[in-house]
Structure 1
Amino acid sequence: MQVFTNAIVLSKLKYRDNDLIVKCYTEQLGVVSFLIRGVLKSKKGASRVAYFQLLSQLQLNIVYKGNRSLQAITETKLNHQYTSLHTHILKSSIVMFLSEVLSSTLQEEEKNESLFKYIETTLLWLDTHSNYSNFHLLFLLNLTKYLGFYPEDFNTDYQYFNLSHGQFELKKTDRYSISGENLILLKQLMGTTFDALYLVKINAKQRQAFLNMILLYFELHLGSFKTPKSLKIFNQVFN
Structure 2
Amino acid sequence: MLVKTNAIVLSVIKYGESSLIARLLTENYGLRSYMLKGVRSPGKKKIRPGYFQPFTQLEVVASHKDKGSLETLREVRLAHHYQSLQTDIVKSSLVMFLAEVVQYGVQETDDDPDLYDFIIRAADWLDENEDMASFHIVFMLHLTRFLGFYPDFSNEGAPVFDLVEGELVENTLNPSASGDLLDILSSLMEAGFENMSSVRMNRGQRVRMLNMLVEYYQIHLHGFRKPKSLDILQSVFH
Shorter-chain TM range is: over 0.9
Helix, strand or coil at the partner of 1:173 = coil
Q: Which runs of 5 or more residues in structure 2 are unaligned? A: none
In the alignment, structure 1 segments of 5+ residues that lack a partner are none
Is the 1:2–1:64 contact (alpha carbons within 8 Å) kept by the matching residues of 2? yes
CA RMSD of aligned residues (A): 1.4
CA displacement, residues 158-207 of structure 1 (integer Å, 9 cap, x when unaligned):
211111101111x2221423211211110010111111112122111110
Letter in 2 for 1:134: S
Instruction: Report the 3-state secondary structure (helix = DSSP H, G, I; strand = E; otherwise coil) of the residue aligned with 2:120.
Output: helix
- What residue identity is the alignment partner of 2:183? I
Q: Secondary structure at the match of 1:44?
A: coil
**Kept after mapping to 2: 8 A contact 1:7/1:24:** yes
The normalised TM-score by structure 1 is 0.95
Provide the identity percentage. Answer: 40
The within-5 A match list for 1:126-165 is: 126-165=126-165
Separation in 2 of the partners of 1:233 and 1:131?
A: 19
**Contact 1:18–1:38, Cα closer than 8 Å, also in 2:** yes
Retained in 1: the 8 A contact 2:163–2:174? Answer: no
* Contact 2:64–2:72 (8 Å) recurs in 1: yes
Quote how far apart the aligned CAs of 1:55 are.
1.2
1:111-190 equivalences in 2 (<5 Å)? 111-169=111-169, 171-190=170-189
Alpha-carbon separation, structure 2, partners of 1:113 and 1:43: 37
1:17-166 counterparts in 2 under 5 A? 17-45=17-45, 48-67=48-67, 69-166=69-166
Provide, for residues 34-88 of structure 1, a one-character-per-residue CA deviation record: whole Å limited to 9, x for no partner: 1111110125349711111111110000111122511111110111111111100
Residues 107-160 of structure 1, C-alpha deviation per residue, up to 9 Å, x if partnerless?
222321111111111111111111111010010000000000001131232211
**TM-score normalised to structure 2 length:** 0.96
Q: Which moved further from structure 2: 179-188 or 36-45? A: 36-45
SS of 2:48 mapped into structure 1: helix
Closer/same/farther in 2, CA of residues 175 and 29 from structure 1, 3 Å limit: same
Q: How many residues align?
A: 238
